[in-house]
Amino acid sequence: EAQVTQNPRYLITVTGKKLTVTCSQNMNHEYMSWYRQDPGLGLRQIYYSMNVEVTDKGDVPEGYKVSRKEKRNFPLILESPSPNQTSLYFCASSLSGTGSSVEQYFGPGTRLTVT
Task: Establish if 49 lies at the interface with other proteins (CB under 8 A).
Answer: no
CB within 8 Å of 93: residues ≥ 6 apart: 4, 25, 27, 29, 31, 32, 33, 74, 104, 105
Give the shortest CB-37-to-other proteins separation in angstroms.
8
Tell whether the torsion through CA atoms of 62, 77, 28 and 92 is positive or negative.
negative
Using the contact rule CB under 8 A, the part of the chain among 15-23, 40-48, 61-69, 79-87 near other proteins is 40-48
Distance, in Å, from the CA atom of 6 to the CA atom of 24, rounded to the nearest integer, reads 7
Task: Establish if 94 lies at the interface with other proteins (CB under 8 A).
Answer: yes
Binding interface with other proteins (CB under 8 A): 4, 31, 33, 40, 42-43, 45, 48, 50, 56, 58-59, 88, 90, 92, 94, 97-100, 102-109, 111
